[in-house]
């Protein structure tokens, strides 16, 4: 099998981790494989994406955002 025939693994550019417990629960946000910061709500995710140069981020588009351990409404353990 040549390189051009090898299926490519495609992931979403934004990956949101499961909720981490704490006094103020949060989720770690990775953008293009790099930790961009933590988010405590959807607005934080959008702010981190915009700071990374991404505009018009659709939080419902799995090609853009991958939610791990719960969707965009999950912010408590």
Residue 9 is predicted with a pLDDT of: 55
Taking the model in full, what pTM does it have? 0.83
* Residue 4 included in any domain: no
Q: What is the per-residue pLDDT for 10? A: 58
Q: Does residue 1 lie within any of the structural domains?
A: no
Cα gap 40→72, rounded to integer Å: 11
Average pLDDT over residues 58-76: 96
Per the structure, the count of domains in the chain is 1
For the segment 28-50, the average pLDDT, to the nearest whole number, is: 97
Domain hosting residue 61, numbered range: 11-67
Q: Is residue 55 part of a domain?
A: yes
Residue 3 lies in a domain: no
Within 13 Å of residue 4, how many CA atoms lie on the same side as its CB?
0
Please state, in angstroms and rounded to a whole number, the distance separating the CA atoms of residues 29 and 12: 12
């Amino acid at each position: 099998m040549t390189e051009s025939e090898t299926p490519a693994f495609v992931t979403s550019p934004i990956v949101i981790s499961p909720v981490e417990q704490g006094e103020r629960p949060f989720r770690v946000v990775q953008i293009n494989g790099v930790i961009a910061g933590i988010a405590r709500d959807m607005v934080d995710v959008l702010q981190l994406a915009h700071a990374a140069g991404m505009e018009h981020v659709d939080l419902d588009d799995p090609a853009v955002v991958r939610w791990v351990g719960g969707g965009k409404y999950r912010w408590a353990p």
